[in-house]
Structure 1
Amino acid sequence: MSTRTMDSDLLADGPADRLVRVARTATGDSLRSVTYFTRSDYDQLYLRDDLEQDADLMSFIGHEWHDFKNTRNAYQNSELGTYRHTIRTFENGFLLRITTERDGVFVTTDGLTMQDFEAVANAVTTVLEDRTE
């Protein structure tokens, strides 16, 4: 299966490449796309060749930031613990959203196990946190 890795205007090459690499390592051929985003912009870092680059990502990201704030606030003192990430299930795949206070990453995949999603989320979180130190 062919892949397309794109250049990023928001991230240096090192962190952008690392995000794609850790997502690819954790998901294998199930990886569909990797998108890095801030509150005001985004860069699609990776898109599998059998997919088309036609999603309205900016609108989607706006909704996700709004939902993230509401979700985080709603579950702030939950006995479930601290919010970590979101998995959304769609007809043709899954979306994993990992966010920090200032940025985030969407990883879309074909089917994965919960352990695979955990591995991706942990790896992406490490890359995002390493950028802030």
Structure 2
Amino acid sequence: MESQLLSDEQANNIVTTARTATGDSLRSVTYFTRSDFDQLYLRDDLERDADLNTFVGHEWRGYRETQNAYQNSELGEYNFTVRAFENGYLLRVAADRKGALITTDGLSMSSYEEIAEALQRMLEENTED
């Protein structure tokens, strides 16, 4: 899929990072900013009928609310969110103005931690605002 928000190289790096860490469990990859999003990858066996506009908007607001709510927590700095659904899981990794949503079949928590760490580095270092 072609991205309007990222260079081809940046989009490929995000998808490759997610794909390498998840293998065949990867369902989709979406990059988002405060005002727009691009679905970078969707597994062939899935339908393109998701309401990504609402979905991404909710996750962006959720990131901001979570970051604000837990800013002084004894748990430490907020890193990422994993959500469990009937048919899969969602990993949200975000920075100040951008983020990525990865949907997968089931993975171990350590796998989500690895993916989140790699994506966080990419968001901070390699993407344009």
TM-score by length of 1: 0.93
* 1:45 partner letter: L
Identify the residue that residue 7 of structure 1 maps to in structure 2: 2
Tell me the CA shift for residue 66 of structure 1. Answer: 1.4
Partners of 1:115 and 1:13 in 2: CA distance: 29
1:74 paired with 2:69, answer yes
5+ residue gaps in structure 1?
1-5
After TM superposition, list the pairs within 5 Å mapping 1:93-132 onto structure 2. 93-131=88-126
Report % sequence identity.
Answer: 62
Structure 1 49/132 Cα, relative in aligned 2: closer, same or farther at 3 Å? Answer: closer
Report the Cα distance in structure 1 between the residues aligned to 2:51 and 2:85, rounded to whole angstroms.
16
Whole-Å separation in 2 of the counterparts to 1:132 and 1:105: 11
Structure 2 unmatched runs, 5+ = none
Partner SS state of residue 126, structure 2: helix
Cα RMSD, aligned residues only: 1.2
Q: Aligned AA for 1:54?
A: D
Q: Matches of residues 19-98 of structure 1 in structure 2 within 5 Å?
A: 19-98=14-93
Distance in 2 between residues matched to 1:77 and 1:99, nearest whole Å: 18
Aligned residues: 128
Once the 2 structures are TM-superposed, how far is the Cα of residue 132 of structure 1 from its aligned partner? 5.5
- Show structure 1 runs of 4+ deviating over 3 A: none
In 2, Cα distance between equivalents of 1:106 and 1:13: 18
Rounded to whole Å, the distance in 1 between the matches of 2:9 and 2:120 is 15
Alignment partners' CA distance in 1, 2:124 and 2:97: 11
Three-state SS of the structure 2 residue aligned to 1:7 is coil
